[in-house]
Structure 1
Amino acid sequence: MARPPRFDMNQLLDAAVRRAAALGPAGVTMSAVAKEVGAPSGSVYHRFAGRTALLAEVWLRTVESFQEGYFEILEADVDARRAGPAAARHVVAWSRAHPEEAALLLYGAEGFGRSNWSEEHLHRADCGNQRVRTALASVAVALGAEGPQATECVALALVDLPLALVRRHLRAGTPLPAFAEDLAEESAAALLGAFPAGSASTR
């Protein structure tokens, strides 16, 4: 009977995350990841067709992990005025709980070679991005405001501001302050408060 593989995909991707957080995408090579886990290079090539596929997978796994919790929060409460600020809080809370993954995301998909990704990887990325856009537009509609300006306001509250808070501290190498989640949540609530009161109910 064949022996199970000693090094699975998640072990290799975890190693890639560590290297990306410490050294940037340039530090994520097939040989470096293999060395990180004490595996022969063949183990990495067995799991990934090449470095481009490795970079795509480490980026997508990280983004999809974040998005899973983000969507759960947005969909858990039919009141957009509660769900929106809670989602903004999640951005900071997730980043605090996953500092290496959050540092990795600072480089953006292009930093991980998106222009060379396979169609399958591009499709996964595009589906995730579209789901975010749809969710933000849904929140705007639930708040009783439609159109580009309303969607931009929601994106600012639920994505841009909490990410800016996280990014500033990650780039400075300083820890997130204890009140960061509260600040993100309260800022989002204040921005969403610009929409007419009583307009948010169900989605």
Structure 2
Amino acid sequence: MARPPRYDSALLLDAAVILAARGGPAAVTMAAVAQAAGAPSGSVYHRFPSRTALLAEVWLRTVERFQEGYLAVLTASGDDPRQAAVAASRQVVAWSRENQEEAALLLHGPEAFNRSQWPREQLARADEGNRRVFGAISALGSALGVTGGVEAERLSLALVDLPLALVRRHVRVGESLPAHAEQLAADSTALLLSDPPPGP
């Protein structure tokens, strides 16, 4: 039986996440990842042919892990879409608490990870993940009677912008999220979605 590689992709990406969380995407270089992982530089180049490929993969692995949990909560609405919306807002904060380095990475956005230069396959993965998330949000909006305009803005604020703003305020300065953060996000989302849809 062949021995597993000593420096596999997961180990190298773990090192890249830490570098990005602490120093931003610019800190993720082939040499820095090799040093952080205690690996020869050839191991990094063997698995990632370029820095752009490495940046794409560290972003994609991180955002896909976030999206998996977010979608699971968002689509488990049953007969109560408002409850699913509140749970999804809480999930953003809970995931960020459990994965603070990954959350710090995601706050930079994909463009900071050279998205415009990614290979076609990795761009397709990113686009597919976004389609799934925004499709689920749209379906939830339909269940809530959202037809567009101000109502759609309210839904986006409640499910995306608001919980991310709460996470950003603490994670960007290296603080742990406070114990009340999940409940604050949930309460704020519930309040936003409790009012009747505004008129034209």
Runs of 4+ that moved beyond 3 A = none
Q: Percent identity?
A: 63
Aligned residue in 2 for 1:167: 168
**8 Å contact from structure 2 (residues 18, 101) kept in 1:** yes
In 2: Cα distance, 1:51 partner to 1:14 partner: 15
CA deviation string 1:33-60 (max 9, x = no partner): 1111111111111111110000000001
Aligned alpha-carbon RMSD (Å): 1.3
Matches within 5 A, 1:19-168: 19-78=19-78, 79-168=80-169
**8 Å contact from structure 2 (residues 74, 137) kept in 1:** no
**8 Å contact from structure 2 (residues 75, 84) kept in 1:** yes
**8 Å contact from structure 1 (residues 145, 195) kept in 2:** no
In 2: Cα distance, 1:194 partner to 1:52 partner: 45
In 1: Cα distance, 2:50 partner to 2:168 partner: 30
Number of matched pairs: 196
Amino acid in the other structure paired with 2:193:
L
Distance 1:11 1:144, change over 3 A: same
Which consecutive unaligned segments of at least 5 residues does structure 2 have? none
Distance 1:82 1:6, change over 3 A: same
Distance 1:4 1:173, change over 3 A: closer
In 1: Cα distance, 2:93 partner to 2:150 partner: 24
Normalising by structure 1, we get a TM-score of: 0.92
Aligned residue in 2 for 1:199: none
In 1: Cα distance, 2:174 partner to 2:64 partner: 25
